[in-house]
A and B are shown apart, each in its own frame.
Chain A
Amino acid sequence: MKYLDEYRDASIARALAEEIRKRCTRIWVLMEICGGQTHTLIRYGLDELFGPNVQLVHGPGCPVCVTPLETIDRAIALARRPEVILVSYGDMLRVPGSHSDLLRVKSEGGDVRLAYSPLAALDLARAMPARRVVFLGIGFETTAPAHALAVLQAAREGLANFSLLSSHVLVPPAIRLLLASPQNRVQGFIAPGHVCTVMGYAQYAALAREFRVPIVVGGFEPVDLLEAILMLVKQLEEGRAEAENQYTRSVSYAGNRAAQEAVERVFEPCDQKWRGLGLIPQSGLRLRAEFAAFDALRIFPLAEVRPEESPECISALVLQGLRKPTDCPAFAVRCTPENPLGAPMVSSEGACAAYYQYRRLVSVKEAP
């Protein structure tokens, strides 16, 4: 496919890796924020190409993983109501809540459906006016415009049986939290290319200046990521700390204004809880009061939930880049994609799932 295959070219990847190796005069610790980038790195073994001088730490950019347990528990409570059809993205159905998950609710008779797009939930609401369609819409800045447009479309059509159970998180406040932490070891960031496609990267330029840390907006293919890493290494070796853009074919400095306007129209910033990281001020989005009629949190009577995390799961530390998935004693033993203790083992962007899929055999091979 055009704009994909050429960025998977092995000879270019090797040349970039060699250049990274040559440029490094010491060890540099870099973080990729986005879980999609984590999967590319681990799947293609990129982290083993350029030698030990670049250490990659995986960041909190897995939206499924950081969606608060309360949201999952509320979705489960809604899915158990007979009049509700609960619709969400595939990964969300298997994320463990406090006591159950959506797939289990489905097997017990709840009407839970998987959709690739919120547009499918709108179609369902039109087709089944007697039912109440709730779309569990979670995500980062990339996904917020899609949810905003779905709500605007529902409002335009007067689709009173459609609502959004929303949980949206924003990347820059999370980077700020990581950089301000005394435990921080990260010296450079790969900023998430599709978040920046929507938002542009002015916010990252401000972070780069404030914390004197280089940030490079990166794409998702192997060659994109290696080029982004090379750009970070060059900055670090030259003592620069700027925001640069590797993913120019999709990202501009100002981002997508139409998408930003849709989000601003429908959502407002709020303090937001991240699973594993806790409450981060002004790091989320909630529906504006004007759209209360489409806000599942306001239109359904939802009992107070008391979320309970698995005591054994170390996903909080994995999400902060303080531990690798393989450091967890439950990894691949008591915690597997079929029987996950925590969200990072479920999501196609979770770091634990990436290691489970691509590194399990390696770790067995290395075992004495």
Chain B
Amino acid sequence: MCLAIPGKILSLEEQGTRMGRVEFGGIVKQVCLDLVPQAAPGDYVMVHVGFAISKVDPEEAEKTYALLRSMGALAGELFAEPPGAE
């Protein structure tokens, strides 16, 4: 229930509420964007039961991921990955 998935805003339309077309890995859905007034087409938002509840912060995401990737790369050297591992 508390799941939210990241999707990319393709376009916006005002119809009383702020709605937008949001793409999730190829699937496009109508999403209410009233709660993310700062989000614009091209931005990623976290969507829960048809409502965007946050705009994904690309800098924070990159920072976290760069740190994690450096750990993973290090681990790759330390523990050789078996071929075909997920």
Contact = CB atoms under 8 A, between A and B. Distances in A.
A195 B1 CA distance: 11
A260 B8 CA distance: 23
A149 B35 contact: yes
B6 to A, nearest CB: 4
Contacts of B79: 14, 18
B85 to A, nearest CB: 6
A339 B74 CA distance: 47
Interface stretch (A111-119, A267-275, A357-365): A111-119
A197 interface: yes
B35 A249 contact: no
Task: Bin the interface of chain B by size.
Answer: 35 or more
Given A3-B44, A9-B72, A119-B50, A142 B86 contact: no
B1 A18 contact: no
B1 A12 contact: no
Contact of B48 (A16, A194, A258, A262): A194
Contact of B81 (A11, A120, A153, A195): A11
Contact of B4 (A116, A119, A194): A194
Interface in B35-62: 35-37, 44, 46, 48-51, 53-54, 56-58, 60-61
Nearest to B38: A258
Contact of A349 (B1, B36, B44): B1
A117 B51 CA distance: 8
Contacts of A27: none
A195 B25 contact: no
Nearest to A61: B2
Q: Is the interface of B mostly helix, strand, loop or mixed?
A: mixed
A344 interface: no
A276 interface: no
B28 interface: no
B51 A146 contact: yes
A333 interface: no
Contact of B2 (A117, A142, A145, A258): A142
B4 A143 contact: no
Contacts of B53: 142, 145, 194, 197-198, 256, 259
A28 interface: no
Given A3-B61, A14-B79, A15-B72, A142 B4 contact: yes
A64 B1 contact: yes
B46 A248 contact: no
Interface string A111-155: 000001111100000000000000000111011011001000100
A246 B24 CA distance: 23
Contacts of B44: 2-3
Contacts of A197: 4, 46, 53-54
A249 B3 contact: no
B49 A143 contact: yes
Given A3-B6, A12-B75, A250-B56, A259 B35 contact: yes
A275 to B, nearest CB: 14
Given A16-B68, A194-B2, A256-B35, A3 B51 contact: no
5 contacts: A18-B75, A117-B49, A139-B2, A251-B54, A262-B34
Interface of B: 1-6, 8, 16-17, 24-25, 30, 32, 34-37, 44, 46, 48-51, 53-54, 56-58, 60-61, 63-65, 68-69, 71-76, 78-79, 81, 85-86
Query: Which 10 A-B pairs give the minimum distances between C-beta atoms?
Result: A117-B50, A15-B75, A12-B72, A249-B61, A248-B60, A3-B6, A1-B25, A11-B72, A15-B71, A142-B2
